[in-house]
Amino acid sequence: MQIEVAKRLQHTEEYYFSRKLREIDELNKTGKKVINLGIGSPDLPPHPSVIETLYEYASLPHTHAYQNYKGIPALRQAMADWYNRYYGAAVDPNTNILPLIGSKEGIVHICMTYLQAGDEALLPNPGYPAYASAVRLSGATGIPYRLSSGNNWLPDLDQLAKNDLSRVKLMWLNYPHMPTGAPASRAFFEEAVAFARQHRILLCHDNPYSFILNDCPQSLLAVDGSLDVAIELNSLSKSANMAGWRVGMLVGAEARINEIMRFKSNMDSGMFLPVQQAAAKALSLGPEWYAELNSTYRQRREKVYRLLDALGCVYDRQQVGLFVWAKISDAYADGFALSDEVLQRSKVFVTPGGIFGDGGDRYIRISLCATVAVLDEAIDRITSTPTNG
């Protein structure tokens, strides 16, 4: 019996990595042992005190019930303190913060709360595919805005202002940018807030990479008046090595929090209490935690540079975040061609930049979520089985 899927899914494809992981799994079953350098899933554990806190609260008999949709006060206070301590952004734990079961769900919550058929949303190209998918699921129309290395992967707000923005309801931003690793300055955030205010657009800033290989973590919400026009998503997945724990947050004005809660409360229940307590512990960690984390990623990044040199790619050493973004040689039609060749020849998977939009067609992205030993093996495989580049 065939049941037709809803129209909202007819142009929504399965996530690229979901399909690719199946292909890699089939190669592994034949004994190929693929080295996966594609997905940014941290391979390092959280701080020991975070795991101890989880165990402590999970061992108690009264911590296994449903929880409040807005999270426990201790977690919201820890999130507010974290924003104030590291970003210099003053937010109220009682009115400005909504804990999320991973920040990715927040992307959908925002789009389903504010968008519908006839609305438009501005999307970065290249950019995280989940933004476009969530906009499409809401029934709205995504309007890509092109990013380029020539403008440091920042949107040209003056050029955007020349377009008809009358139906644009929100704009997705993501800095440090994924996939390019480009940071944004305080001055750019100020310009973005002014742009949103002028055109009555809700800025949605996705900010999960600000602590990775970045000497100056920033939040758009540190800009004066930003709460009037912006909301920000953040996450413990990368900064605290808690990707599988699914802990994120949405920070915004009280009215925005209440509006999004109307949708979220119909989709899920509260987060497991021991996870909330452990997340609060993770948020209390000092600068030494991030310094140690980045020391590891810095060593790995040097290895990735060597790997990219072997592939004939060029890259910007000023980029930050959990990946390295690199332009491919003219020997390949696009990043997909290089990715496929490296997978088949060397059994190493790197991400083609085209999955992030056609603005990434001439690029690949490599994750830093692999040990130095694994990266050394990947380099050996690639240099021993030369590609066309």
DSSP H or E run through 20: helix 16-29
Of 280, 260, 227, 281, the closest CA to residue 105 belongs to 260
What is the b/e burial string over 17-49, where b = at least 16 CB atoms within 10 angstroms of the residue's CB?
Answer: beebbeebeeeeeeeeebbbbbebebeeebbee
The overall average pLDDT reported for the chain is: 94
Q: Taking 60 as the threshold, does the pLDDT of residue 12 lie above it?
A: no
Span 234-252, average pLDDT: 96
Q: Taking 80 as the threshold, does the pLDDT of residue 309 lie above it?
A: yes
CATH top class, domain 65-285 = alpha beta
Q: What is the pLDDT of residues 333-386, one digit of tens each?
A: 999 999 999 999 999 999 999 999 999 999 999 999 999 999 999 999 999 976
Question: What dotted CATH number matches 7-45+288-384?
Answer: 3.90.1150.10
Of the listed ranges 58-72, 118-132, 223-237, the least confidently predicted one is 58-72
Confidence of residue 15 (pLDDT cuts 50, 70, 90): low
> Would you call 203 helix, strand, or coil by DSSP?
strand
What is the b/e burial string over 86-106, where b = at least 16 CB atoms within 10 angstroms of the residue's CB?
Answer: bbebebebeebbbbbbbbbbb
Q: Taking 60 as the threshold, does the pLDDT of residue 389 lie above it?
A: no
CA-to-CA distance for 174 and 184, rounded, in angstroms?
Answer: 9
Residue owning tokens 């309801």? 169
DSSP, res 310: H
Confidence of residue 291 (pLDDT cuts 50, 70, 90): very high
| 7: Cβ contacts below 8 Å, ≥ 6 apart | none
CA-to-CA distance for 223 and 361, rounded, in angstroms?
Answer: 34
Beta bridge partners of 124: 145
pLDDT of residue 14: 59
CA-to-CA distance for 20 and 196, rounded, in angstroms?
Answer: 37
Q: Taking 90 as the threshold, does the pLDDT of residue 177 lie above it?
A: yes
Q: Taking 70 as the threshold, does the pLDDT of residue 286 lie above it?
A: yes
Encoding tokens for residue 7?
Answer: 């129209």
Q: What is the pLDDT of residues 39-94, one digit of tens each?
A: 888 999 999 999 999 999 999 999 998 888 899 999 999 999 999 999 999 999 99
CA distances (Å), origin 362, targets 16, 126, 335, 349: 18, 11, 5, 17
Q: Taking 60 as the threshold, does the pLDDT of residue 192 lie above it?
A: yes
pLDDT of residue 92: 97
CB-based contact 182:154 (threshold 8 Å): yes
pLDDT of residue 385: 76
Q: What is the pLDDT of residues 268-283, one digit of tens each?
A: 888 999 999 999 999 9
Encoded amino acid at 186, one letter: R
Q: Taking 80 as the threshold, does the pLDDT of residue 7 lie above it?
A: no
CB-based contact 257:97 (threshold 8 Å): yes
CA 311 distance to own-chain centroid: 26
CA-to-CA distance for 244 and 236, rounded, in angstroms?
Answer: 10
* Predicted TM-score (pTM) of this structure: 0.93
Confidence of residue 1 (pLDDT cuts 50, 70, 90): confident
Own/partner contacts of 139-146, CB < 8 Å, gap of 24 or more, are 139/8, 139/115, 140/111, 140/115, 140/116, 140/169, 141/167, 143/168, 144/357, 144/359, 146/359
**Domain residue ranges of the chain, discontinuous segments joined by +:** 7-45+288-384, 65-285
Own/partner contacts of 115-122, CB < 8 Å, gap of 24 or more, are 115/139, 115/140, 115/169, 115/170, 116/140, 118/167, 119/167, 119/168, 119/169, 120/167, 120/168, 120/169, 121/168, 121/169, 121/170, 121/171, 121/172, 122/160, 122/168, 122/170, 122/171, 122/172, 122/201
Span 187-216, average pLDDT: 97
HSE-up (13 A, CA, CB side) for residue 310:
21
Span 179-199, average pLDDT: 97
Span 147-164, average pLDDT: 97
CB neighbour class for 216 (10 Å; exposed up to 12, middle 13-18, buried from 19):
exposed
Q: How many CB atoms lie under 10 A from the CB of residue 255?
A: 10
pLDDT of residue 13: 58
DSSP, res 243: G
